[in-house]
Each structure stands twice: as C-alpha cells, then as structure tokens.
Amino acid sequence: MAKKLNFICQSCGAVHPRWSGRCDGCGAWNSIVEEAPLSAGPAKKTLGAQRGSPVALTDLSTEEAPPPRTTSRIDELDRVLGGGLVPGSAILVGGDPGIGKSTLLLQAAASFAKAGLNSVYVSGEEASAQVRMRAQRLGLGDAPVRLAAETNLRDILTMLDTERPDLAIIDSVQTMWADNVDSSPGSVSQVRAAAHELTTFAKKRGTSVILVGHVTKEGQIAGPRVVEHMVDTVLYFEGERGHQFRILRAVKNRFGPADEIGVFEMTGGGLAEVGNPSALFLSDRETPAPGSVVFAGIEGTRPVLCEFQALVSPTPHSQPRRSTVGWDGGRLAMILAVLEARCGIPFTGLDVYLNVAGGLRIGEPAADLAVAAALLSAREDTALPPQSVVFGEISLSGALRPVGQTENRLKEAQKLGFSSAIAPARSKIGDRAELDVRQYADLAAVVGELFGAG
Ligand code: TYD
Ligand code: MG
C-alpha cells in the first residue's frame, strides 16, 4: 500500500487532507507542504481499554518553594528570563538570521558555565572550530563550556543523557534531524519532533534546554508556532539591521513576566549590556525639531523613554503614503482618523512617515498621544516645548485615557532631566514637584493648546 501523506501548514502545523494554496487554520498563503505522517506505527486499541499506572493528585494549597534560579550575571538576560535560569525549563530564542542569536547564547553559555553550571553548546550550523574561534574573539576562550557540532537528534540525546549537563543550548532547532521522522530537516515534522524530544528531556532530567529558532521573513519562528506551545519561555531577539541595538523580548514566560525586554548593543567584542536604555535611545536626539516627540513608555517592568519622529509632506501621488517603522500601521491610521474626525485636522493629500528612533518597536497604546503629537508637530511645523515627554491612550471618541504605571514614567522622565510632561486627565501622577505635568481630557484640548489649531 502506498504510504499516506499529510499536507502540513509550515506556519501553524495544521494538517490538511489535500494541498491547497491557503491554510484554513492560520490563513497563511503557500505554506502547505507534503510530509510523511509523524508516527506510522500500527493502530492500537483506545488508551482507556488497558489500565495504566495510578497518577498521584495533590491540592493547590501544597507549599511550593519558588524554583531555584541561576543567574548568568548578564543582568539584561536574567531579567528577561524572570530572574535567572530555572532548572528543567525549555526556552526558545527566535530571531532573524544574523541578528546575533549564536553570539548571545555563546556568551550566555560561558556566563552560566562560569556561574557553576555544567553547560553544553550543540551547534548544528557551525563546526566546533568556528564556535571556538568566535569564543576566543569574544574573550570567552577560558569558559568551561563544552562544544559539539552535531545534527543527529538521537546522538545528541544520548550524549545529553550520559553527560547530564545543567544547561544545553541547541543552535538551531531547524538543523536538528530525527532519524525516525521521514521528512527533511527544517520541516514542521522534524522541528516538532526535535522540540518535543528536547523539551521532554528537559523535564525528565532537569536540564535547562535553550533552543535557537530562525524566524521566517513573515516574522514567525520557521515551521512551527507549535514549538512555542511546547516550551516554557519564548524569547525574541530583534533589532534593525542598520542599528547596533538588539532587544531580547519575552513574549511568553511561565517563570516570569512576559513583555520584559533586555537591551544589548552589538560591538566588535560581542553583545554588551545596555543598563540605561532611555539614555541610549535618546542619545542622538538633535535639538527640538518639528515632528520629534519623546514618549515615556514602559517595556515590561521598566520605563523606557524613546523618540517618535514624524514627517508630513504633500504627496505627488493620488494615494498618499502612510509608512511606519517601529509602530503599528493600523494604529497610525486610527490616530489619523481621530485627528480628522474629532479635531478637524485632515491629512488628505499628505504623505505621512512615522519612525521610532533607534530601531525600537513600540506596541503600547500609551504611545497614541505621542504619535498624535508628532504628527501634528510635523504638520504644523512647530516643535513641541523642549524637555517634555508625552504619553496617553486615545480613544475613538478623541478622549484621552490614563495609562498604567504613570508614576514610573514620570520618574524616569525626571531622572533623565525632562522638565514637563503631557498626560491624560485623571492620571495618578503622585508627587512630582520638579515636573510640570499638564493633563488634558481630550485630544482636541491638546491640539488647541499646543498648536493653536483645530
Ligand atoms: P550570529 O550570532 O552569528 O547571528 P545568528 O546566530 O542570529 O544568525 O551574529 C552574526 C552577526 O553578528 C554578524 O553579522 C557579525 C556580528 N558580530 C559582531 O558584530 N560582533 C561580534 O563580536 C560577533 C561575534 C558577531
Ligand atoms: Mg547562528
């Protein structure tokens, strides 16, 4: 009998009976690939037909000590992990090729090894000699990290089982190859099998496993979102190619807060920590210019000030351009619509460009007001009062909503020498004598007072 084949979406892992151009599961186009099914073993009776061994039950009130954590002494990494590495945890680190994942994890392996963990670094992409050369260039030649260049999953698992390391880094999960799975390395079945075997090993033996995953052009970890469900923690390593800043962002963390970021700088000697990101993101700020606004944001548990830049110019095209870097395009459209409908300021016939300086990506709705202020400032060709920060969420009615952690935002602004802030009414501002906090109930009031328009 001919072997039955499955058609599996490489983006979400959904299984289809036949090929089609678009996955019903996740809506991705051209993502369905023919693969042999995962297990071709003989069909067994239903599981319940045969009795298994008893499973012990406990209750919620049982005292549970917090997991013991090992810190790498790379503060930016420890914070993103939720305060250090938890034994037996499975972590996925995703990012574009060439962004610096291998560099980061080699540095992490060295730091954890120096902190006393038995660390193993398995490279499926580079030869041991290459990894060693990189380590020497990073000044980590003396760290007691053990290396292997291997892609065969079975051999790697056997090695891990004999060595019983505290930390195993697998670079990358897409190069791993399980000989019991009948499809090529990098396919969903292979990646899923590798991730499954390695996370199971992590749980069973208490080894922390860090998997490196490449991200596709579409911004997903190539192959499977399914891997994201298997691991405890998902970190993304991101940054703009032309910038030296790199951001490690926790998008899922069973052992700590999600949305936490760690900021690094790529230097000739590897990744250096950036302890004060606000100072970094504002460092090359020019004299107050129209279109430039400082946003007091929060990334994870930490306040981060950054600069929004807008440019508004008459369009030569029938369809004006709306272009954003570091901010959601849909949200920009919404703010433009609110400015037009609630404040009477149209952007028809005008190209709009919006950029977050330094390659940072902002997802907080709290930046709405900063975006609106940047757009207005660019359109009216009027700079905002110097040394002021802006934050607040804009609702479709044009009202300004207070946002979380207002006091932390103001404290950071004050620390960095700002003298005034523009915030929504009813914000809990606490006691900020040195800071002139101006509060507005709606966007029209901000427009009227700052730009005399509307
Ligand atoms: P790498 O860690 O190999 O990326 P990934 O594993 O995510 O594919 O990083 C490669 C880039 O980093 C490469 O373009 C060179 C740069 N780099 C530095 O700038 N300084 C360094 O010390 C190192 C090791 C790499
Ligand atoms: Mg690499």
Task: Read off the pLDDT of residues 339-370 as tens digits, 9 standing for 90 and up.
Answer: 999 999 999 999 999 999 887 889 999 999 99
Question: Which bound ligand lies closest to the C-alpha atom of 174?
Answer: 2
Question: Which bound ligand lies closest to the C-alpha atom of 137?
Answer: 1
3-state DSSP assignment of residue 101: helix
Sign of the Cα torsion 425, 427, 430, 435 reads negative
User: Using CA atoms, how far apart are residues 249 and 364, in angstroms rounded to an integer?
Assistant: 14
Ligand 1 atom nearest residue 134's Cα: 24
Q: What's the pLDDT tens digit per position in 417-431? A: 899 999 999 988 887
User: What pLDDT is attached to residue 366?
Assistant: 97
What does the block give as tokens for 42? 């003989």
Beta-carbon neighbours within 5 Å of ion ligand 2 = 102
The least confident of 47-61, 233-247, 259-273 is 47-61
pLDDT class of 445 with cuts at 50, 70, 90: very high
Dump strand ranges (E) for 99-232: 119-123, 146-149, 167-171, 208-214
Comparison of pLDDT for 238 and 373, the residue scoring more? 373
User: What pLDDT is attached to residue 454?
Assistant: 47
User: What pLDDT is attached to residue 188?
Assistant: 83
Matching residue, tokens 């981060």: 304
User: What pLDDT is attached to residue 257?
Assistant: 85
**Atom 21 of ligand 1: nearest residue by CA position:** 270
Give percent above pLDDT 90 in the chain. Answer: 61
As a whole number, the mean pLDDT across the chain is: 88
User: Using CA atoms, how far apart are residues 131 and 113, in angstroms rounded to an integer?
Assistant: 16
Give me ligand 2 centre to Cα 26, in Å. Answer: 28
- Nearest residue to 219 (alpha-carbon basis) of 184, 249, 255, 177: 249
User: Using CA atoms, how far apart are residues 423 and 405, in angstroms rounded to an integer?
Assistant: 12
Ligand 1 atom nearest residue 138's Cα: 22
Burial of 432 (0-12, 13-18, 19+ CB in 10 A): middle
What does the block give as tokens for 272? 């250096």
Instruction: For 104-141, give one letter per residue: b (16+ CB within 10 A) or e.
Output: bbbbbbbbbbbbebbbbbbbbbbeeeebbebbeebebe
Pairing of strands 322-325, 119-123: unpaired
Question: Which bound ligand lies closest to the C-alpha atom of 106?
Answer: 1
pLDDT class of 15 with cuts at 50, 70, 90: confident
User: What pLDDT is attached to residue 283?
Assistant: 67
| Integer angstrom CA distances of residue 391 from 146, 286, 336, 367, 388 | 48, 20, 17, 6, 10
What does the block give as tokens for 177? 């190859």
Within 6 A (CB) of ligand 1 lie 95, 97-103, 134, 137-138, 266, 268-270
Q: What is the pTM of this model?
A: 0.81
Is pLDDT above 90 for 399?
A: yes
Is pLDDT above 80 for 224?
A: no
